[in-house]
Amino acid sequence: MRTPVPPEGTRVLIVEDDDTIGRHLEAALRGHGYRTTWCRTGVNALAEARATPQDVVLLDLGLPDVDGIDVARTLRAELPGLLIVILTARSDEIDVIAGLDAGADDYLVKPFTLTVLLARLRAHLRRHPPDATRPEGPVRVGDLTVDTSARRCLLAGLEVALRPKEFELLAVLARNAGTAVSRETLMAQVWDENWFGPTKTLDVTLASLRRRLGEAADASPHSLALPQITTLRGHGYRLESLPPTTSPRPFDDPPQ
């Protein structure tokens, strides 16, 4: 069977201080059509990512100068369209959560096989190919603005702090405002089309998103045109505009 090739010109920044692993990754990725750059420290990796546009970062956490979690957080803040995949020996659940919360899109524990890494890269790049990562204009639904290029959520002009998956979930709903979005679509676009974890992850993330938006709405002294995330039982969710209101919990489902 013919091996799939990555989108032309896909650039991968390898951040790995182990010479053996770094050499093997670089050779393997180049052999599969990727353009690679290899950095051994976090400081050099940040400088390289800022100087040369990258599509993917393969990031070790145990770097000699800066913790990889801090590198991931900085990359996500400065380069919101970047695909970040953590490759690390840290396998504890708390480390996985910290990496994903810092902005990583995926997390692989060493040792891993090259075939699994390549398959995951292909899956991510199918959903977000490099030539489709042009900045999108902000989406406004009522007084809620979702700016995917700047990775910012604003409610009546005030920024709402969201975790990475909360923001991505809201972005999908906002881009499809007024339209029913199925659970399967949300799982595929926000997590991964090959996600094998519990779908309750979606429910937990959406509940947290509602809570954060609700708290921001409660803090506003003004009447707002607030959107509502409606649960469509047995299907998914819909984000829809509502007229200005002073209701204290506008993001909760209406009474059934």
- Distance from C-alpha of 33 to C-alpha of 52, rounded to nearest angstrom: 18
* Residue 6 placed within a domain: no
- Distance from C-alpha of 39 to C-alpha of 125, rounded to nearest angstrom: 22
**Could you say which of 132, 155, 188 is where a domain stops?**
132
Quick one: how far is CA 111 from the chain centroid? Answer: 24
CA angle 211, 215, 221 (to 5 degrees): 155
- Are 53 and 128 found together in one domain? yes
DSSP one-letter code for 141: E
- Are 127 and 143 found together in one domain? no
pLDDT, one tens digit for every residue, the chain (256 residues): 445 556 656 889 999 999 999 999 999 998 888 889 999 999 999 988 887 888 999 999 999 999 999 999 999 988 888 899 999 998 899 999 999 999 999 999 998 899 999 999 988 888 777 654 444 568 888 889 998 877 889 998 889 999 888 998 998 898 888 888 888 888 877 876 455 555 678 889 999 999 999 888 888 877 777 788 999 988 899 998 765 544 444 444 544 3
- Radius of gyration of the chain from its Cα atoms, rounded to whole angstroms: 20
Residues 155, 237, 138, 11, CA torsion sign: positive
CB 203 within 8 A of CB 220: no
- Are 119 and 82 found together in one domain? yes
**Could you say which of 91, 114, 132 is where a domain stops?**
132
* Residue 179 placed within a domain: yes
* Residue 72 placed within a domain: yes
* Residue 216 placed within a domain: yes
- Are 84 and 121 found together in one domain? yes
CB 193 within 8 A of CB 231: no
* Residue 255 placed within a domain: no
In the chain, the largest separation of any two C-alpha atoms, in whole Å, equals: 62
pLDDT at 225: 72
Non-local (6+) Cβ contacts of 175 within 8 A are 139
Q: Which helix (H) or strand (E) holds 21?
A: helix 19-31
Q: Which helix (H) or strand (E) holds 72?
A: helix 68-78
* Residue 189 placed within a domain: yes
CATH code of residue 17: 3.40.50.2300
- Are 98 and 51 found together in one domain? yes
- Are 148 and 211 found together in one domain? yes
pLDDT at 166: 92
pLDDT at 243: 55
- Are 128 and 148 found together in one domain? no
- Distance from C-alpha of 117 to C-alpha of 125, rounded to nearest angstrom: 12
- Are 98 and 159 found together in one domain? no
- Distance from C-alpha of 68 to C-alpha of 87, rounded to nearest angstrom: 10
* Residue 2 placed within a domain: no
- Are 209 and 192 found together in one domain? yes
pLDDT at 153: 92
**Could you say which of 103, 132, 161 is where a domain stops?**
132
- Are 161 and 100 found together in one domain? no
- Are 37 and 95 found together in one domain? yes
| Number of residues in the chain | 256
- Are 164 and 123 found together in one domain? no
CATH code of residue 163: 1.10.10.10
Range of the domain at 40: 11-132
| Per-position b or e across 197-221, b if 16+ CB within 10 A of its CB | eeeeebeebbeebbebbbebbeeee
Of 173, 157, 156, the closest CA to residue 165 belongs to 173
pLDDT at 14: 96
Count of structural domains within the chain: 2
* Residue 21 placed within a domain: yes
